[in-house]
């Protein structure tokens, strides 16, 4: 169990709209919160059926959050891989166009023959 920092508390309050800014209403101090391991330890201490049911639900929420974070990480990694591939493809396309431009320039220039001209006298 630990107490939220001021920044975490402000973020938590803004997300859940838990309290008025007035000093007379709502939560004014940062609450104490549990880690997933803390909830597991708490469930071993509290033996009432309700406490056990609540702790099971909390553990399930932690598990779902962990799964969501893992899924998001996998999606972010896949997106980065796609971006990298697109970047490489853009570079390759630019290179192809550069080669095409060079070929067009060479075609437009008249080709001068190198060597000796043989004159035919009859």
Task: Name the average pLDDT for the chain.
Answer: 78
Distance in angstroms (rounded) separating the CA atoms of residues 62 and 39:
10
Residue 14: is its pLDDT beyond 80? no
Write down the domain spans for the chain.
1-33, 36-105
Provide the token pair at 47. Answer: 């033996």
| pLDDT tens by residue, 60-78 | 888 898 888 888 888 888 9
State yes or no: pLDDT of 109 exceeds 70. Answer: no
pTM: 0.43
**Nearest Cα residue to 30 out of 52, 59, 8:** 8
Q: Residue 35's pLDDT band (boundaries 50, 70, 90)?
A: confident
For residues 28 and 57, the answer to whether their CB atoms sit within 8 Å is no
Q: Say if CB 35 and CB 62 are below 8 A apart.
A: no
């Amino acid at each position: 169990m630990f107490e939220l920092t001021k920044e975490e508390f402000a973020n938590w309050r803004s997300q859940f709209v838990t309290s008025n800014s007035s000093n007379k209403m709502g939560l004014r101090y940062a609450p104490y919160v549990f880690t997933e391991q803390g909830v597991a330890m708490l469930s071993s201490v509290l033996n009432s059926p309700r406490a056990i049911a609540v702790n099971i639900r909390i553990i399930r929420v932690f598990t779902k959050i962990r799964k969501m974070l893992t899924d998001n990480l996998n999606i972010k990694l896949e997106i980065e891989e796609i971006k990298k591939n697109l970047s490489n493809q853009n570079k390759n396309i630019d290179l192809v166009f550069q080669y095409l431009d060079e070929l067009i320039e060479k075609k437009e220039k008249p080709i001068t023959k190198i060597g000796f001209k043989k004159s035919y006298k009859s």
